[in-house]
């Protein structure tokens, strides 16, 4: 029988690399926790309708990329391709929006699933950290989220990312623009499917990555020339607030994002070191999404940052995160009695908050010291026959190689003071 492999387009996170992913998640979440966002978790699958209505019938995500299945009970479900619609569903279902404290501010961390053509930086299962502020229409909220994402990237040491910003207007001005864009697109030499897409949601065509389409889009009408006064004023305020906070951004009149629910503020974080999959994250305002999925009017804004893409961006900039070693103390017993005593000490160290590991499997001294070295531990505790008779343990500093004998009962206190 051949051994199993991970499904195509997925990856396993294994130590020691996985520590980098945890550090990235933590760095993105920290500023959110600090700004009134509470943690939310939703199921990995939802009713398929939630996405087809919320994300949009004409989007690639819904038409080509969703994992859809029927349960034994006949329900049609989909693995989540994104988490904004599920978060909004959860907030509505739990009536959090009625608790009187709007906006409801939440953050999440988890996997998304899309049936895409796998390539570097684009997988069928990928991890995101995201934030949503639900139930308030306020340019300061849009600004807050952009500033927090910028802050988390800078905290990781990233420098070569850019923030692209645009406004997609609202139900007042977008229909006028939509008509103008459709008229323009009808005059182009486009294939059947693209023309069909132009009829459902012409903004999707602007997002088409094919060079032969992009070439024809020169001279396409731009949304910013069609914004109503309210949208213009809103967008100006977002720009002023993030500029005052020292966040650098670029206006990008063609930025539309791949989901139908965005209105007004829309933004993307791109990193030039990643080749074709340059977007590391993005988001925007989605004022109409709540009504699309059957809720009341709840203007909202949010973003999601890709953990895998952020790790690739760190590698592209050659940034090594300062990840503390998982183990501080490694215990090496030689013989049965030593094993019993040291195992008890390791348990006690752990209870006192010292990260400790143990040489399992009865290895000899040489193999055990190799394991201690690999663990990255700062100190090794070695207990042999002679030490037992003297009631001491050899404490070895793995950096300096210095070794001291200390009393068995002083181990915990000595290590706690040394590790401080």
Instruction: Tell me phi and psi for residue 257, to 5 degrees.
Output: 70, 155
Tens-digit pLDDT profile for residues 257-305 = 656 678 899 999 999 888 766 899 999 999 989 999 999 999 999 999 9
This prediction has a pTM of 0.90
For 329-397, where are the E strands, in sequence order? Answer: 329-333, 356-358, 379-383, 392-397
d(CA 395, CA 414): 10
Q: Are 108 and 42 in contact (CB under 8 A)?
A: yes
* pLDDT score of 207 more than 80: no
pLDDT above 90: residue 204: no
Rounded to whole angstroms, how far apart are CA atoms 79 and 90? 16
User: What is the tens place of the pLDDT at every residue in 13-58?
Assistant: 999 899 999 999 999 999 999 999 999 999 999 999 999 887 777 6
Domains of the chain (ranges, CATH numbers): 18-173+227-316 (3.30.930.10), 329-419 (3.40.50.800)
Residue 218, pLDDT score: 86
Residue 352 to residue 341: CA distance in whole angstroms: 17
Q: Residues 340-388: pLDDT tens digits? A: 999 999 999 999 999 999 999 989 999 999 999 999 999 999 999 999 9
3-state secondary structure 218-247: CCCCCHHHCCCHHHHHHHHHHHHHHHHCCC
Contact criterion met (CB below 8 Å) for 333 and 342: yes
Is-contact 405 387, C-beta < 8 A?
yes
Residue 135 region by backbone torsions, left for phi larger than 0, else alpha for psi between -120 and 50, else beta: left
């Amino acid at each position: 029988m051949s051994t199993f492999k991970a499904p195509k387009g997925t990856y396993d996170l294994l130590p020691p690399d996985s520590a980098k992913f945890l550090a990235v998640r933590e760095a993105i979440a920290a500023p959110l926790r600090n700004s009134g966002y509470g943690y939310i978790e939703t199921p990995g699958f939802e009713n398929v309708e939630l996405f087809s209505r919320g994300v949009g019938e004409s989007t690639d995500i819904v038409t080509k990329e969703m994992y859809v299945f029927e349960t034994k009970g006949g329900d049609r479900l989909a693995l989540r391709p994104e988490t904004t619609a599920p978060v909004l569903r959860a907030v509505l279902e739990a009536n959090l929006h009625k608790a009187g404290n709007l906006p409801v501010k939440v953050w999440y961390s988890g996997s998304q699933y899309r049936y895409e053509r796998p390539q570097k930086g684009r997988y069928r299962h990928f991890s995101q950290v995201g934030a949503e502020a639900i139930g308030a229409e306020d340019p300061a909220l849009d600004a807050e989220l952009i500033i927090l994402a910028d802050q988390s990237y800078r905290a990781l040491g990233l420098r070569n990312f850019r923030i692209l910003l645009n406004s997609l207007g609202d139900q007042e001005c977008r229909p006028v623009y939509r008509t103008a864009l459709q008229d323009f697109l009808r005059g182009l030499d486009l294939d059947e499917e693209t023309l069909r897409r132009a009829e459902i949601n012409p903004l999707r065509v602007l997002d088409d990555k094919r060079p032969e389409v992009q070439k024809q889009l020169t001279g396409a009408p731009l949304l910013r020339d069609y914004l109503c006064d309210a949208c213009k004023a809103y967008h100006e305020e977002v720009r002023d607030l993030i500029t005052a906070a020292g966040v650098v951004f670029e206006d990008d009149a063609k930025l539309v994002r791949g989901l139908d629910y965005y209105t007004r503020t829309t933004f993307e974080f791109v990193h030039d070191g990643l080749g074709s999959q340059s977007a590391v994250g993005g988001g925007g305002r989605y004022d109409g999404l709540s009504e699309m999925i059957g809720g009341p009017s709840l203007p909202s804004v949010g973003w999601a940052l890709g953990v895998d893409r952020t790790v690739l961006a760190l590698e592209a900039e050659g940034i090594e995160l300062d990840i503390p070693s998982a183990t501080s103390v490694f215990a090496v017993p030689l013989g049965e009695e030593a094993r019993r005593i040291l195992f008890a000490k390791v348990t006690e160290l752990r209870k006192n908050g010292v990260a400790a590991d143990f040489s399992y499997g009865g290895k000899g001294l040489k193999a055990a010291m190799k394991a201690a070295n690999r663990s990255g531990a700062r100190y090794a505790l070695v207990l042999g026959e002679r030490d037992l008779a003297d009631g001491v343990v050899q404490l070895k500093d793995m950096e300096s190689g210095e070794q001291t004998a200390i009393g068995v009962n002083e181990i915990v206190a000595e290590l706690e003071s040394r590790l401080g």
